[in-house]
């Protein structure tokens, strides 16, 4: 497969262009030539020195990540930035990135993966960024709060640090909002929508009192742990297209 075809397929499936004005990440192809042949694609949550080096060691032609290298532009390629880009260029590994487009995608996204873990039904978008949404809200039926915690503990790649729970809502969960990563900022939107439970990645200092005062449950499964689903879904899709694939798991516990 040609690199241009792979990039075009990703961009179309993820609606990359629709997020251009609302995402600080430069989504799409961030590092690489205009064209090359692709036989092997590696996938990871973060574009960092370790994943770039491991992608090269795996003889991958492309590294696909959720968190990329360019957030509003690159002024200097020195120090840490050089250390992350150099292994890609030196080993002819292209880098494709999908941040917000991969968070809220109703089928391939991070929120969709967490929603599947909890068995949410009748999902719809939540977590508005401009005209787009980066999370999902769904019906949990009558799921015990303890069961929510247990499923997240078991299924999320939290690096052994566990899932933090703020249990200020009902013991029987019925309406859940999932906004992965740093999604705690969308707690007020979730409260206004009438949900009783929020699942996100990392809390902020204000999250405790906001959840307590609103009377809702909040589960924090780590930023990394809630955002492995999207790249894994892209990996499965890519494998069906023909290239060999490799997943690079580098859990942070954060």
Residues annotated within the binding site for a divalent metal cation are 66-67, 103, 223, 227
Instruction: Name the 3-class secondary structure at 161.
Output: coil
Q: Please choose, from the candidates 210, 119, 217, the residue with its C-alpha nearest in 3D space to the C-alpha of residue 173.
A: 217
Place of tokens 């949404």: 133
By the 10 Å C-beta count (0-12 exposed, 13-18 middle, 19+ buried), 122 is classed as exposed
Q: Please choose, from the candidates 168, 157, 160, 143, the residue with its C-alpha nearest in 3D space to the C-alpha of residue 219.
A: 168
Q: Which residues are annotated as a binding site?
A: 66-67, 103, 223, 227
Q: Please choose, from the candidates 62, 195, 76, the residue with its C-alpha nearest in 3D space to the C-alpha of residue 127.
A: 195
Query: How many residues does this entry show for the chain?
Result: 254
Query: What angle (nearest 5°) sits at the alpha carbon of residue 238, between those of residues 236 and 239?
Result: 65
Please list the alpha-helical segments (H only) found in the chain: 3-14, 49-57, 79-90, 100-103, 110-118, 145-155, 187-193, 207-214, 229-241
Query: What angle (nearest 5°) sits at the alpha carbon of residue 106, between those of residues 219 and 197?
Result: 20
Contact in structure between 197 and 240 (CB atoms under 8 Å): no
Cα–Cα distance for residue pair 154/162, rounded to 1 Å? 9
């Amino acid at each position: 497969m040609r690199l241009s075809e792979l990039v075009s397929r990703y961009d179309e499936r993820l609606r990359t262009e629709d997020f251009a004005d609302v995402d600080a990440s430069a989504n799409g192809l961030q590092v690489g030539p205009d064209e090359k042949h692709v036989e092997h694609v590696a996938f990871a949550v973060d574009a960092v020195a370790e994943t770039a080096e491991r992608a090269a060691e795996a003889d991958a032609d492309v590294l696909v990540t959720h968190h990329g290298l360019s957030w509003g532009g690159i002024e200097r390629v020195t120090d840490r930035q050089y250390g992350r880009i150099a292994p890609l260029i030196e080993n002819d590994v292209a880098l494709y990135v999908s941040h917000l487009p991969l968070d809220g995608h109703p089928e391939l996204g991070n929120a969709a993966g967490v929603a599947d873990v909890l068995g949410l039904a009748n999902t719809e978008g939540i977590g508005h960024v401009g005209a787009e949404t980066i999370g999902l809200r769904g019906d949990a039926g009558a799921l015990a709060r303890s069961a929510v915690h247990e499923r997240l503990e078991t299924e999320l790649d939290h690096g052994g640090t566990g899932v933090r729970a703020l249990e200020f809502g009902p013991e029987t969960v019925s309406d859940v909002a999932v906004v992965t990563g740093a999604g705690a900022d969308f707690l007020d939107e979730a409260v206004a929508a009438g949900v009783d439970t929020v699942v996100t990645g990392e809390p902020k200092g204000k999250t405790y009192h906001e959840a307590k005062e609103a009377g809702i449950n909040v589960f924090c499964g780590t930023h990394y742990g809630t955002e492995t689903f999207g790249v894994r879904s892209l990996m499965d899709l890519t494998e069906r297209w023909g290239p060999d694939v490799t997943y690079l798991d580098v859990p942070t516990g954060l």
